[in-house]
Chain A
Amino acid sequence: MSSITVSARGVYQTDEDFLSEVFADSVPKSQVVWLKGELRQSLSDILGHDYNGLRIRYWRDQNKSVWILEEIGKEQPITFGVVISKQKVEAVKVLAFRESRGDEIRHPAFTQQFEQVTLDGNKLDRQIDGISGATLSVWAMTSVVRMALYLDKFTSS
């Protein structure tokens, strides 16, 4: 099967390439978690709105899980890739950015803030510094990281 073409504007890395990078070309079979009951409600609380979708796909290999999630920044969905290891963030990346502004969140100088972050209740255990002019994108990334940490905890329990 041929790899997906990087043609869309603002696609920095394809989902496939991200997974290959994380799992060193030995990508495990994907799994799905169905969003029902308390889980669905918790995700709504984290995002501040209902999650549009009945299930979420993820990839897990031993203690590491990978989540490819989308969240609206201002008007357009931003695609994030989040790697969780031992219930802490190992890495977060912007895979596709479709907004006209706010893409500064993709720079490592910003994303490094999330490394080793974990959940304290339903919130992150560390304050994340914002970026002037990219507030909504920062919020979207923070929500998605919280969501990935929550889902990792839920699916590993």
Chain B
Amino acid sequence: MNRRMRRIHRILGATIALFVLMLASTGILLNHTSDLKLDQRYLTWDWLLSHYGVTELQPDAVFLIDNKVISQFGQQLFVDATPVLQESRPLKGGVSQGETFVLATDEALLIFTADGEFVEKMTSSSGVPAMIQNIGLFHGDPVVQTRDGLWRSDFMLEQWEKLSLQGVGWSVAQSMPDSVAEQLQHYFHGKGISVERVVLDIHNGHIVGQYGPWLLDGIGALLLILSLTGIWMWAKRLG
């Protein structure tokens, strides 16, 4: 009986040694969270962000105008990484006009200064053609493509004439440059996942998902058995 107990004790000890090391080390770290500034250090590893459900940014539209990156995420428009305007209609394109740039949705033109400050939204009530499909430039003049043809204006964007022409430089969607993507990642997802959160989740088992705490409960039960078998053997030896 004593030999069998020793065997159980040895096997249990070897099985849970790694978990004990993990629990002890994470427990010590958590005890000193403030001293080690674990709540102020952040991890941005892709696999970790993905594990925590922080998914990769997926802009609905990206356009490069002069040196600015214009993007739309849902109803939010960004110039570079700065949120500038809520716009529910999808962005169709944009063109530069020197001191300003003009973005087109299917229902409106959005005017911005070259610095990215919002000036005005112009709709069909201001004379802008409806059902816009794209915007481009022809000899410096803005041209919009709509369902019923091409319309050309001047920098004021108030008078539009219908025309048929070739050689318009249409706005083309682009992919997001890495530098701006990184800033936007920071805007949407903050600094990342704090080290304290990761250590705590390792300690309580949440790091492996919803069954993690049950796994830790099992390890706890094994530790109880290990302690009881140890006490039993110790008492046997004394007796």
Contact = CB atoms under 8 A, between A and B. Distances in A.
Contact of B85 (A19, A52, A54, A56): A52
A39 to B, nearest CB: 15
B120 A19 contact: no
B174 interface: no
A16 B124 CA distance: 7
Interface string B82-98: 00111011000000000
B50 interface: no
Interface residues of A, number: 25
Interface stretch (A3-11, A125-133, A140-148): A3-11
Contacts of A2: 130-131, 148
Contact of A52 (B89, B118, B123, B125): B118
A55 interface: yes
A109 interface: no
A8 B88 contact: yes
B122 interface: yes
A153 interface: no
Contacts of B120: 32, 53-57
Contacts of B131: 2, 4-5
Nearest to A9: B88
A16 B131 CA distance: 14
B160 A1 contact: yes
B118 A53 contact: yes
B67 to A, nearest CB: 21
Contacts of B86: 72, 76-77
Interface string A49-81: 000111111000000000010001000110000
Interface string B115-153: 001111111111101110000000000000000100000
B88 A54 contact: no
A14 interface: yes
B66 interface: no
A4 B107 contact: yes
B113 interface: yes
A46 B126 CA distance: 25
A54 B125 contact: no
Contact of A4 (B75, B130, B160): B130
B154 interface: no
Contacts of B127: 1, 30
Interface of B: 75, 84-86, 88-89, 107, 113, 117-127, 129-131, 148, 158, 160
15 contacts: A3-B124, A3-B130, A4-B123, A14-B124, A15-B123, A15-B124, A30-B127, A32-B120, A52-B85, A53-B121, A54-B117, A55-B120, A57-B126, A68-B125, A98-B88
Given A15-B123, A19-B125, A53-B121, 4 more contacts: A1-B160, A2-B130, A54-B119, A76-B88
